[in-house]
Structure 1
Amino acid sequence: MMKRIVRELLVDVNSFEDSKKIELVIDNPFEEIRCDKPISVQLFLYKEKDSITVSGKVSTTVIEPCSRCLKPVKLQIEGNVEALYVNQSKLLSKSRSGPVGELDNTFLLSEDILDLSDRVIEAIIVEIPLKVLCSKDCKGLCPVCGTDLNENPNHRCETPKEPQDKWHSLLYNLKENIIKKDQ
């Protein structure tokens, strides 16, 4: 997967003295996420002698499948960006003597150009729940035939007597043997 470059999220560290503000709205250039509306980005960069602190907010609406019925669900996302870019030589010396290397949001500043695209993607992805539901009482899909149980609440599917493939057949036989032993 090739990463698309978002020119507005490339920052020349020599283009500002103390701080820089980035406010933009971009159509989704990222393959990792599916958005329903453009991504709003507000970032603040603060430059110190050997580091640049990046903070801000990212907002959009993403589309994720429901974990039970697979219907698309729109989620409003309000993510935070927090990162510290440290000069390569300072990171190495400080990481040996202190906690700088232990921070999850500390990155190496090895070039004069910062690509903040990854920070924007992270801010969005971190806010997406692990289990997305279209509603808290979603009934999901029939495990046998895949019928949507929300649309067909009275659906009853006959479980096939014997599975068609070898793997499921072995499980079916194991289940039958356990049932016979318990009787």
Structure 2
Amino acid sequence: MIWKIKVKDIIAKRHMKIEDDYYTETINLHTGTYKVIDNVFHVKISIVYTDNTIIVGGVVKGKIERPCDRCLETSILELEGTIEGIYDLESEPNFKDSEIENLKNVIYYKGEVIDLEERIIEALVVSAPDVFVCDENCKGLCQYCGENLNLHPDHKCEKMEEFSIDPRFEKLLKLKEKLSNN
């Protein structure tokens, strides 16, 4: 498979470039599982070997279908992630000295094959936003009945009347009504 690279090949070539497509129907992100548009992400990776270290860098781009967090309509989200990793082939992790300054993206590695698919997925997960809005002007849903306010901008909800007002806010409501009448 193209995404599994033998360490000995990287050492022999010292520098490699890979530009190819990563195929998958869905992707699991921290906010859910989503359909990948055209089942493909475009990947460009550069791999360099120097001083018992393999440095991996690149980008991954693609689109997924994801529901908007305001109106729940399915929309297209473009993802662009940065692929990065440093495979240290010589050292061992020093857990006694694990301060933030030492938490670089260093992978202490003793295997024979590097699986770049892990770095691709990591880049996509990190690039995905926690909150996705289909449009910055998305009006969302009516908080009382769930009507999509983008489709019905003049929506007046009858159910709003049914909800009783919290007695702690009755005085504020009366003040608001009084101010709006002036």
> Which residue, out of 51, 59, 62, partners 1:60?
62
Q: CA RMSD in A?
A: 2.9
Task: Note if contact 2:3-2:115 (Cα within 8 Å) is conserved in structure 1.
Answer: yes
Offset from partner CA, 1:21-62 (integer Å, 9 cap, x none): 222113225531532131111111111242210011111112
Indicate the residue corresponding to 2:116 in structure 1: 116
Q: Specify the code of the residue in structure 1 equivalent to 2:70.
A: R
Task: Note if contact 1:24-1:42 (Cα within 8 Å) is conserved in structure 2.
Answer: yes
Matched, 1:128 2:128: yes
Indicate the residue corresponding to 1:11 in structure 2: 5
Task: Map 1:51-130; keep pairs closer than 5 Å.
Answer: 51-87=53-89, 90-92=91-93, 96=97, 101-103=102-104, 105-130=105-130
> Which residue, out of 19, 24, 31, partners 2:27?
31
Task: Note if contact 1:140-1:150 (Cα within 8 Å) is conserved in structure 2.
Answer: yes
Q: Output the CA distance in 1 between the equivalents of 2:26 and 2:7.
A: 24
Q: Specify the code of the residue in structure 2 equivalent to 1:23.
A: E
Give the TM-score, by structure 2 length.
Answer: 0.74
* Residue 181 (structure 1) shift: 7.7
SS of the equivalent of 1:159 reads helix
Q: 1:110 to 1:34 in 2, by over 3 A?
A: farther
* Residue 97 (structure 1) shift: 10
Q: Output the CA distance in 2 between the equivalents of 1:125 and 1:97.
A: 24
Identity among equivalent positions (%) equals 26
The ranges of structure 1 where at least 4 consecutive aligned residues each deviate by more than 4 angstroms after the TM superposition are 93-100, 180-183
Give ranges in structure 2 of 5+ residues lacking alignment: 29-33, 175-182
SS of the equivalent of 1:92 reads coil
SS of the equivalent of 1:75 reads strand
Name whichever structure is richer in strand by fraction.
2
SS of the equivalent of 1:126 reads helix
Task: Note if contact 1:94-1:100 (Cα within 8 Å) is conserved in structure 2.
Answer: no
Length, aligned pairs only: 164
SS of the equivalent of 2:168 reads helix
Q: 1:62 to 1:31 in 2, by over 3 A?
A: closer
Indicate the residue corresponding to 2:166 in structure 1: 176
